[in-house]
Amino acid sequence: MDDYPLLDLFWTMLWFFLWIMWLFLLFKIITDIFRDDELSGWGKAGWLILCLVLPFIGVLIYVIARGTGMTQRETARARDAEAAFQDYIRETAGPGAGGTGSAGDELTRLVGLKERGALTEEEFQKAKAKILA
């Protein structure tokens, strides 16, 4: 253990950590290249080749040239995912689960359930009476 002093261990760990950070950035950039709808196929191929053939320089050039757009695209994707999730929650919860749906909407939904066979005539009548009450 005398051949590998503590300072060398520190430098090795630092370089390893930086290499791992670079790998994460490389994968993030490759993901961004493929998800960018505005970039043409040739543009995607060019950026991908640059990042794979000249990895350190290619990643640095990509971050400098397209870093702001990368952030904007990621923010837009997160916003769209949140909106889709909220729509799904509203659709799944439905107006009967604390929403502001009208009695007509509820009756329409009940008729649809009855027609599909999800409700029996007795269950339909009970639910209809509850809505109209």
Q: What pLDDT does residue 118 have?
A: 83
Instruction: Report the pLDDT value the prediction gives residue 114, as an integer from 0 to 100.
Output: 86
- The pLDDT, as a whole number, for residue 108 is 86
Given a contact cutoff of 8 angstroms between Cβ atoms, the answer to whether 32 and 70 are in contact is yes
Q: Are 57 and 19 in contact (CB under 8 A)?
A: no
pLDDT along the chain (133 residues), means of 10: 80 95 94 92 94 92 93 92 88 61 79 86 86 79
**Tokens at 6, concatenated:** 């503590």
Residues in contact with 29: Cβ distance below 8 Å, sequence separation at least 6, in sequence order: 47, 51, 59, 62, 63, 70
- Alpha-carbon span 111 to 67, nearest angstrom: 53
Q: What predicted TM-score, i.e. pTM, was given to this entire model?
A: 0.59
